[in-house]
Structure 1
Amino acid sequence: MKYSVLKIAFLFILFQYGNVLLAQHNSNYPHAHEHEENLSNKVEHLSFKDTFLGSEDNFQVCYPKDHRNFFYMIFLLILLVAILAIFTFINVRKNNKLLGIQNKIIEEKNKDLVDSIKYSLQIQKSILPKQDVVKNAFENIFILYYPKDIVSGDFYWVFSDERYAYVAVVDCTGHGVPGAFLSLIGNNAINKAVKEDGETDPGAILDKMNYYVKETLNQQSEGELKDGMEVSLCKFDKIDNTLYFAGANLSMVYFKEGELNIVKGSKCTVGSVQPHVKGAPTTHIIQLSKGDSYYLYTDGIIDQFGGESSKKFKITGLKKLLTSIYRKDIVSQQKEVINTFEAWKKDQEQLDDVCIIGVRI
């Protein structure tokens, strides 16, 4: 509203100034003697006292009325611009103050959100196996666990009894908070399958996990929620060194007598309705010996961009890395994997959660 009034005033001044210019134009050209006759009507007489001479003299200072109007309008125009500048300054200052308040509110909300996510991290850490549980199950094992965000969509699971040691890596749909929620569901499902239902075969465990995840997410038909998880699960016989493996869209790498082998998981996921999938994932049986190694991993490291050409690490990069370290002790293996991943990624953004587990017999 303020700016509308100013605009009207500005247009009025321009209109008046246009009339002045028109009058001046008409008065300059008709006849010179008419201009001289009317000149006396366009002057003002001002008296000044000559203080230096001590006398009073009359001076005639002639200001044409057109000029007086021109100066008057220039003054009004300057005043108008000054008022407009003041209003603009006040408005900008007000907006900046409002913006500062809004930024502060956003910062406080972001802080609350980050604090909540950090608290969620503590909850997620509570489901991961404790170090003593891991060491009790496997004598030589390393775990590389790099969440992309504060919380992760990847998690690992370890369980053992007197004869068997179980280990799994799980890659849930997405990462961050959504993936972390699914990880809680997946962890609960695998614990129920093994500890409550007593399943021991890796393929049967994954099948039971699939049932529990779909039940929790209320996945009953193909068109419903498609969230799920990919799993790589091993059961190791501590007495005869037999390895049992089953995977849901994840594979396993193992070295037997110095030779690299890859066992691919079944084409299925845990969770979501899959009409094309019939039966439980396949369980593979592998006889290993002392000194052999096997590795479970999610696809985070494979899909990571990096290196001089900014390309994906790919499965070929992982195979090359594992081939170079499998003979080393488990601590050295872990250091090599960490150093290689960091050197590859450098300043590139981490694209996904990363989880790798290596076991040496």
Structure 2
Amino acid sequence: MGLRGKSGLWLTALLALLLLIALLAGRTGLDVFRQHFGAAYARNHALLQAQKLVTPITRELSLSQRLAELGSVRAYLRNGHDPATTFADLERFRAAFADGSAFLIANPSGRYHFTDHNDPAAARAPRYTLREDEPKDAWFYATVRSGRPYTLNVNVDDTLRVTKIWFNVLVHEDDDKGGAARVLGLAGTGLDLTRFLAEFVATDDPGVTSLVVDGTGAILAHPDPKLIEYSALTKATPERTLYRLISGDADHAALERSFAELRAAKGGSRTLEVRLDGQPRILGVAYVPDLDWYVLSAVDAGAARVIDEAALWPIALATLVLILLFAAAVSMGVDRMILNPLLRLTESARRLAAGDYGLRLSSHRNDELGELTRVFDGMARQIDAHTRELEGRVAERTRDLAAAHNRVAEAHRQIQDSIRYAGLIQDAMLPQAALARALPERHFVLWQPRDTVGGDLYLFREDADGFVIGLVDCAGHGVPGAFMTMIAHAAFDQAVQELGLADPAALLARMDVAIRALLPDAAAGRHLATNMDAVLCRVDHARGRVSFAGAHLDLYHCVAGVCTRIRGDRRSLGERRRGDYENHVMSVEPGAAYYLTTDGFLDQAGGMHGYGFGARRFAETLAALDAQPMHARQEILLRELREHQGERPQRDDIAVLCFTIPGRGDAPGTTYGE
């Protein structure tokens, strides 16, 4: 196919592309207009429905309040006086109410008087008596206890066999002294729910659903009566709420934020996009502050008539005609002015496009195409020169990068070897063998540095009367933390040599002095963390007691399924201000287990919200381990940590030390290990 045929195909493809772009742009624009006008339509529809709702509701509520203020009503509800006047007044208001019904309820007797157009004289005798122990009457007592001047409640009255929106207005005793007025009962009316839904919720507009919710999101009115929350007043947690119809936490948060803004503004409207019953909807929200109700209009932008699409067809046809005329003009101009001269350049251009930068072009034409040929020739020469230069530079940079990569790999290997060697040194410093010899199958150590080496250290030293066991949590991680553990170990050795093992608090105080001597004062001036948390336990076999002292670390004492957290002193070792450390002495109890932990376990982030494991949950987990053998305790504790941590990285070095006391810490028949 020749150049002219290809250009024809190119222009045809361009025309098709332009038509496709115009179609997509028109469709996108139509969707944007639908969303924009749909939002305005939803907002205006919600405001209109709210206005339709407010006028009759306000009228019925106002009449109910006037009925509750009548002296005859108060006199009758107070002591049964003047019933003829009371029921005459009740009949006058019944005739004025839109539903033709009215009621009075006496408190606390629960006498329920109801009248409607079917039997106006029925109110003279109570229809039935409400009881506080009857669940279906709970709405009345909840209304009285709430103290609110009025409430509106959707309720099914099984005795009267009616379902209405009830206007419940409190009738108070007059109190000339200004004190709290006693509640004499309720007065009000009701609106038939079917009629209410037909007049104020039902809509003939396609793609639009109207509903009414209260401040808690409970659905008070919906075209589907099955979704209405009846007797919402008596329920602490409504079941049929708008939030159950809306999918996604983000949509819930946006809806709650809109409710809060409207309540703060005491009116107005908002729009937001949500998924209602799993379908995308534009939600218009209008607030009725007098009722604390929200009127919502859910608009399906695709089904609602928010745009007259028939009026857009002439514009679309005119756009299509213009595109076709433009394509024809371009085709004729290209063929006459460009294609014919370019045929002579086709072969040369093809060779240049194939990468033949050694191609040399020449032209004697003085027009633009001649100039184009000369420009192509100059461009080919420059590309050829630049290509050669770049190839040389790439080869040189490749050699440099290979050498740099080798240097980085060698440095990384040396660092890793050093860290592994530091790990061997730190492992050799830990008293694993001494613990295994002194407390076989009566202890476990969960020691997990965040890196290969870490800042957590466990200690053990024994004498003729017993032993001292403890943990130290040094500031820092990795190699710096490991160096700090060496300082802590040296301080512990010095304290033991000078003081012996009898007094854990004295050992902590001496370690504090030694650490301050080993670390120069200049470290604090450089804002370097040099403090250490520590805990020591002295087990005295002869006296049958355990002495505990802590520097910002605690002891967990577990026996008979109860785990008690014994707090250490709040000052760490090496802090700027010196701390005083105190011994906590307790007798050895049969079956008791003692747990020491650094904050790495307690602070490990995990769970749904990324919170730490926590001391309370740690103590509860330890209490549940009481009946387990020692090796199983370690496995269960590690499993709990892994389940809590999930995919989150380890935040800090982790060390947990558990031990029981041989001969005294065992309940009869207790065994450890298998």
| 1:137-286 pair list within 5 angstroms | 137-139=438-440, 140-219=442-521, 223=525, 226-274=529-577, 277=579, 280-286=580-586
Identify the residue that residue 325 of structure 1 maps to in structure 2.
625
| Structure 1 residue 199 displacement after superposition | 5.0
| Structure 1 residue 310 displacement after superposition | 3.1
- Determine whether 1:351 maps to 2:654: no
Provide the rounded CA distance (Å) in 2 between the counterparts of 1:174 and 1:226.
7
Provide the rounded CA distance (Å) in 2 between the counterparts of 1:191 and 1:316.
33
Structure 1's unaligned 5+ residue stretches are 1-62
Provide the rounded CA distance (Å) in 2 between the counterparts of 1:70 and 1:291.
97
Alignment deviations for residues 100-134 of structure 1 (CA, whole Å, 9 cap, x no partner)? 32122111101101101111111111110032x11
Identify the residue that residue 430 of structure 2 maps to in structure 1.
128
| 1:34-53 pair list within 5 angstroms | none
| Structure 1 residue 74 displacement after superposition | 2.5
| Structure 1 residue 316 displacement after superposition | 2.2
| Structure 1 residue 320 displacement after superposition | 2.0
SS of the equivalent of 2:568 reads coil
Return the letter of the residue paired with 1:123: I
Confirm or deny: 8 A CA contact 2:563 2:620 kept in the other structure: no
Alignment deviations for residues 133-164 of structure 1 (CA, whole Å, 9 cap, x no partner)? 11343341111100100111001011111221
Provide the rounded CA distance (Å) in 1 between the counterparts of 2:521 and 2:502.
25
Return the letter of the residue paired with 1:155: L
| Structure 1 residue 90 displacement after superposition | 2.9
- Determine whether 1:297 maps to 2:600: no
Return the letter of the residue paired with 2:562: E
| Structure 1 residue 286 displacement after superposition | 1.2
| Structure 1 residue 69 displacement after superposition | 6.9
With over 3 angstroms needed to count, the CA separation of the structure-2 counterparts of 1:130 and 1:64, relative to structure 1, is closer
Alignment deviations for residues 179-227 of structure 1 (CA, whole Å, 9 cap, x no partner)? 1001001011111111344252000000000111110112389747550
With over 3 angstroms needed to count, the CA separation of the structure-2 counterparts of 1:238 and 1:273, relative to structure 1, is same
- Determine whether 1:86 maps to 2:379: no
Provide the rounded CA distance (Å) in 2 between the counterparts of 1:82 and 1:223.
62
Return the letter of the residue paired with 1:301: F
Provide the rounded CA distance (Å) in 2 between the counterparts of 1:221 and 1:331.
42
| 1:51-90 pair list within 5 angstroms | 64=364, 66=366, 71-90=373-392
With over 3 angstroms needed to count, the CA separation of the structure-2 counterparts of 1:220 and 1:323, relative to structure 1, is same
Structure 2's unaligned 5+ residue stretches are 1-362, 666-674
Confirm or deny: 8 A CA contact 2:523 2:530 kept in the other structure: no
Provide the rounded CA distance (Å) in 2 between the counterparts of 1:200 and 1:147.
30
Confirm or deny: 8 A CA contact 2:551 2:569 kept in the other structure: yes
| Structure 1 residue 244 displacement after superposition | 0.4
Identify the residue that residue 48 of structure 1 maps to in structure 2.
none
Provide the rounded CA distance (Å) in 2 between the counterparts of 1:115 and 1:137.
33
Alignment deviations for residues 18-63 of structure 1 (CA, whole Å, 9 cap, x no partner)? xxxxxxxxxxxxxxxxxxxxxxxxxxxxxxxxxxxxxxxxxxxxx7
Confirm or deny: 8 A CA contact 1:155 1:170 kept in the other structure: yes
Confirm or deny: 8 A CA contact 2:467 2:501 kept in the other structure: no
Seq. identity, %? 26
| Structure 1 residue 95 displacement after superposition | 2.4
TM-score scaled by structure 2? 0.42
With over 3 angstroms needed to count, the CA separation of the structure-2 counterparts of 1:328 and 1:71, relative to structure 1, is closer
Provide the rounded CA distance (Å) in 2 between the counterparts of 1:261 and 1:237.
20
RMSD over aligned CA atoms reads 2.2
SS of the equivalent of 2:600 reads coil
SS of the equivalent of 1:231 reads strand
Provide the rounded CA distance (Å) in 2 between the counterparts of 1:254 and 1:130.
23
SS of the equivalent of 1:300 reads helix
With over 3 angstroms needed to count, the CA separation of the structure-2 counterparts of 1:89 and 1:220, relative to structure 1, is closer
Q: Pick 1 or 2: higher relative contact order, CA cutoff 8 A, min separation 6.
A: 1
Identify the residue that residue 3 of structure 1 maps to in structure 2.
none
SS of the equivalent of 2:383 reads helix
